[in-house]
Structure 1
Amino acid sequence: MKRAERFPHAKSYRDRHGKIRWRYRHKGVTAELGTDWGSEEFCRRYAAAVNGPAKDGAGASRTAPGTLDDLAVRFYKLHLPTVGESTAANYRFVIDRLRVKHGHKRVSHMARRHVIAIKAEMADTPQQANKTLKRLSQLMELAKDLEWRTDNPVDGVKLYPTNPGGFHTWDEGEIARFYEVYEIGSVPHLAMTLMLYTGAAKCDAVKLGRGNIRDGRLVYRRNKTRRNPEGIEVNIPIHPYLAETLAHVPPDAFTFLQTKDGLSRSVKGLGTSMRKWCDKAGLPLCSSHGLRKAICRRIAEAGGTAFAIMSVSGHISLKEAQKYCEEFGRKGMADSAIASLPGGANGEQKLTNHPARFVEKSRKRLQ
């Protein structure tokens, strides 16, 4: 898809430093879109320019009743207060991109063929297409609750096949390689160790500091589950290597990963930095989320149960934690299973231990 087709009325220009920037201009509305075409921030600014600013969502003050814009604003009011900041941002990113092109259309007119067309337009980015279908399905379920529709046109539309494992899980070789490139005392080493030995997601890692240390343990509540009544507090002992790493953090630092200026590091900034650090170390498949999966892998490989994984990772779904046991704990369980077989530890059983019928046959054969 051409850029002009994806974001109508967005034009590029060079600033006084010769850098390419993007600007939206249409019907008297002018808005700067930034330098990173197609990024999350670009899409957010574009949606705000097209729909107009509003407190409860882009274009809330200019929405026509019964349109996708109207439905999105209602969805934001109902659902965003119940999820974490990072989840809310992801919801807005996906839904606002839908609103750019379809916000003015009536929800009651959406048919299954329209959903399939939206899916087909995103065939080059299957994971993003699947996220869009999931959010669109949530919107249509709300439309049913509001009695705007009697059905959900997204039902039955298949998702694109993608990697079922999601983000790549760091293996021990990749972890060792990262530590070869970044020594203890450096920010990359600190970020890596903090997430690897706590299982904290980016949105939690950037907020952790000495205020979270209590009696030699790290205590925090996951941002993603903070507003969930089932959310639990993560309370884990500090691993010796993590303690050694944290000893290099200035004692007056408010958060472990704060910037040189003493400011809290942003979630997006940490993600961008991790991408650069991994690329420099020759680890293109690795990411910050993969570190969270790595500690779950280590626990599973050590024979830990799904509940042990949940106590460290903060998962509230047993099903999610069980996946790690099934994927990474199989080898250890197989070793235990084979060792538990009769004679598994001391070789095959002796003849005298066999059932009597086999002993008698063997004696006759010898005679």
Structure 2
Amino acid sequence: MSQKAKREFPGVTAYLDRHKKRRFRFRKRGFSAEIHGEYGSKEFRANYEAVIRGHKSQNICIQDTQRGTINALVVSYYQSPEYVSLSDSTKATYRREIERLRNEHGHRLVTQMKRQHVVKLLEPLTDRPSARNNRLRMLRMLLNHSVEIGWRSDNPTNSIRKMRTGSQGFHTWTERELAAFFAYHEIGSTARTAVTLMLYTACSRVDVVRLGWQNVSDGRIRYRRKKTERFSEVVVDIPIHPDLQAVLNILSSSQLTFLETAGGRSRSPNGLGNAMRQWCNDAGLPDCTSHGLRKACATRLAEAGASEREIMAWTGHASPQMVQIYAGKARRGLMADQGFAKLRKNETGSKNAEPNKKGSSK
């Protein structure tokens, strides 16, 4: 890349992805975003301008903000190691709520915030418990950061509890729904390949679109989760289920990824999400999503008696907390069955012992 080209698009650097394809990324002050399109093309320029606008709105200079305000705190947080180390997808999720807060309340002074002020900020979302809890979570993170940088000595959100939502999160696919999907989408179709891959690997969308023959060896699939690969050396290393092997056997060995597009390009996570919505709708399964397959895999393992650590080896989680959420219902049912079997065994044993007891007294 020439010096002139570098000046034309400041902040852009080139790199080679794992397929040796040249890609471009904009980085500045903790802000990072992918630039799509051929370098210098009309598409590239449009994407670059959009990224610049995003950078300006989310990383305005500290001198342009009033010190001590929520606005300035957000700028500081975006430059913190905690935020910079997050994956791009997690950053985007956090930014959505943080930017709402900043647009509505950026002028407020952090040092003057008390518990009643936080409650006031949460009040408009009382009828939407999940949204309220998410805002509380973002406020808690921001105010924890204010304590770390010495703006406050306490965090007024610590005494505020989350609301009960009654939500179980993404719907877990049932065996009946899986059967319906497989009956509608034949083996060899991209839909069948995608669902089988996620069901038998517990992969998330962002990971499954990267899987290919490079991840297969000796009857196993090995990969690192994109969400944690920058700060974790954990490798998911799982055996290939026969049903998954049957699907893989149909795929060409020249494919770069298992779920590549008709044009031979890697499929994006969002593109897969949109396709999954259509595939599920076509099969008459409006409640089913790609994330529900990850939960279905964990549920199947739990129902088979797998321990939390064994399930974590499949899902790639670093702690059992999320596994308990994913497979808790199945685990409770399994334990209930085991407890019932012990109860029946004890009852049967007691009845068999009664005649012997009476006979011995004669």
TM-score range, shorter chain: 0.7 to 0.9
The aligned counterpart of 2:76 is 74
In 2, Cα distance between equivalents of 1:125 and 1:113: 19
Which of 73, 86, 90 matches 1:87? Answer: 90
In 1, Cα distance between equivalents of 2:352 and 2:162: 60
**1:67 alignment partner AA:** T
Q: Are positions 1:202 and 2:205 aligned together?
A: yes
Q: Are positions 1:211 and 2:220 aligned together?
A: no
In 2, Cα distance between equivalents of 1:67 and 1:315: 36
Deviation, 1:323, is 4.4
Task: Provide the aligned length of Structure 1 versus Structure 2.
Answer: 312
The aligned counterpart of 2:23 is none
**1:150-169 alignment, distance < 5 Å:** 150-169=153-172
In 2, Cα distance between equivalents of 1:273 and 1:351: 59
Q: Are positions 1:171 and 2:178 aligned together?
A: no
Q: Alpha carbons of 1:133 and 1:182: their partners in 2 closer, same or farther (altered >3 Å)?
A: same
The aligned counterpart of 2:259 is 257
Moved more, 307-316 or 242-251: 242-251
The aligned counterpart of 1:228 is 231
The aligned counterpart of 1:311 is 313
Question: What fraction of aligned residue pairs are identical, expressed as a percent?
Answer: 40
Deviation, 1:355, is 8.7
Q: Alpha carbons of 1:146 and 1:358: their partners in 2 closer, same or farther (altered >3 Å)?
A: farther
Give TM-score, length-normalised by structure 1: 0.75
User: Which runs of 5 or more structure 2 residues have no equivalent in the other structure?
Assistant: 1-48
In 1, Cα distance between equivalents of 2:164 and 2:203: 28
Moved more, 212-221 or 89-98: 89-98
Q: Secondary structure at the match of 2:201?
A: coil
**1:250 alignment partner AA:** S
Q: Alpha carbons of 1:142 and 1:297: their partners in 2 closer, same or farther (altered >3 Å)?
A: same
Tell me, yes or no, if the aligned pair for 2:295 and 2:327 is still in contact at 8 Å.
no
Q: In the TM superposition, what whole-angstrom CA distance separates every residue of 1:242-281 from its partner, at most 9, and x where no partner exists?
A: 1221233333221112222222222222222222322332
Give TM-score, length-normalised by structure 2: 0.76
In 1, Cα distance between equivalents of 2:255 and 2:212: 8
Q: Secondary structure at the match of 2:68?
A: coil
**1:262-301 alignment, distance < 5 Å:** 262-301=264-303
Q: Are positions 1:128 and 2:135 aligned together?
A: no
Q: Alpha carbons of 1:360 and 1:280: their partners in 2 closer, same or farther (altered >3 Å)?
A: same
RMSD: 2.9
**2:150 alignment partner AA:** E
Q: Are positions 1:327 and 2:321 aligned together?
A: no
Q: In the TM superposition, what whole-angstrom CA distance separates every residue of 1:11-67 from its partner, at most 9, and x where no partner exists?
A: xxxxxxxxxxxxxxxxxxxxxxxxxxxxxxxxxx99986xx7349x44246433222
The aligned counterpart of 2:348 is 348
Deviation, 1:325, is 5.3
Q: Alpha carbons of 1:123 and 1:261: their partners in 2 closer, same or farther (altered >3 Å)?
A: farther
Q: Alpha carbons of 1:324 and 1:309: their partners in 2 closer, same or farther (altered >3 Å)?
A: same
Q: Alpha carbons of 1:343 and 1:144: their partners in 2 closer, same or farther (altered >3 Å)?
A: closer
In 2, Cα distance between equivalents of 1:86 and 1:109: 32
Which of 98, 112, 116 matches 1:113? Answer: 116
Q: Secondary structure at the match of 2:55?
A: coil
Q: In the TM superposition, what whole-angstrom CA distance separates every residue of 1:104-152 from its partner, at most 9, and x where no partner exists?
A: 3322233333322332223454322211210110100111122212222
Q: Alpha carbons of 1:317 and 1:91: their partners in 2 closer, same or farther (altered >3 Å)?
A: same
Q: In the TM superposition, what whole-angstrom CA distance separates every residue of 1:272-291 from its partner, at most 9, and x where no partner exists?
A: 22223223322222211111
In 2, Cα distance between equivalents of 1:271 and 1:80: 25
The aligned counterpart of 2:190 is 187
Tell me, yes or no, if the aligned pair for 1:47 and 1:97 is still in contact at 8 Å.
no
Q: Are positions 1:248 and 2:250 aligned together?
A: yes
User: Which runs of 5 or more structure 1 residues have no equivalent in the other structure?
Assistant: 1-44
Q: Secondary structure at the match of 2:222?
A: strand
The aligned counterpart of 2:60 is 59
In 1, Cα distance between equivalents of 2:284 and 2:90: 30
Q: Alpha carbons of 1:278 and 1:114: their partners in 2 closer, same or farther (altered >3 Å)?
A: farther
Moved more, 159-168 or 91-100: 159-168
Q: Alpha carbons of 1:122 and 1:276: their partners in 2 closer, same or farther (altered >3 Å)?
A: farther
Deviation, 1:336, is 3.9
Q: Alpha carbons of 1:269 and 1:119: their partners in 2 closer, same or farther (altered >3 Å)?
A: farther
Deviation, 1:293, is 0.6
